[in-house]
Structure 1
């Protein structure tokens, strides 16, 4: 029975990333907090990478899980930059809203302090 996810193909893709980057197995294994032999077993296709290892590899090489697991040629879909732009815009708006809330809170606190100060004078 054929495996849905081929350990060998995943290992080959991961090895290709490393070799194309001119890095050693020991270097990448260290980044992933794995032994070199454990990492080697992943590249050879003798073992699947754990979710954490897969996540770290994807992050390190700026690849998608889809590409690592399936080799989909659409690593970065055309909508990816638009999604990133939308996320950044949302974060910017949230930051502005947070900043405005802090300013309102500061204004209210100053108002309370002023009332307290006036009541002490009388």
Structure 2
């Protein structure tokens, strides 16, 4: 899997979970302490980000990393 494809899949998963939880980008970004435009870039697969950021995102959904990556 290429880097871009991996970023796109992770971004799509974040967006899917965010929408499933009825959260706007703005509200979710505020909840987890990220800038909304930074979150938007992650969801689009346009941004590299570190494990610490992924951990904040996953904790914001109150799920485990294993649950986040189910089906990858």
**Bin for the TM-score computed over the shorter chain:** 0.7 to 0.9
Greater Rg over alpha carbons, structure: 1
Q: Is the 8 A contact 2:4 2:45 kept in 1?
A: no
Report the counterpart of residue 16 of structure 1 in structure 2.
16
Question: 1:33: how far off?
Answer: 1.6
Q: 1:4 to 1:72 in 2, by over 3 A?
A: farther
Q: Secondary structure at the match of 2:28?
A: helix
Structure 2 residue aligned with 1:44: 44
Task: Count matched residues.
Answer: 71
Over residues 12-38 of structure 1, what are the superposed CA-to-partner deviations in whole Å (9 max), with x where a residue is unaligned? 000000001111100111122221111
5+ long unaligned stretches in structure 2? none
- 1:22 and 1:13, CA in 2 relative to 1: closer, same or farther beyond 3 A? same
For structure 1, the 5+ residue unaligned runs are: 74-122
Higher RCO, 1 or 2 (CA under 8 Å, sep at least 6)? 2
> How much does 1:46 deviate?
0.6
RMSD across aligned C-alpha pairs, in angstroms? 2.3
Q: Equivalent of 2:70, from 69, 72, 77?
A: 72
TM-score (norm 2): 0.78
Q: TM-score, normalised by structure 1?
A: 0.50
The Cα shift of 1:60 comes to 2.1
Please name the residue that 1:6 is paired with.
6
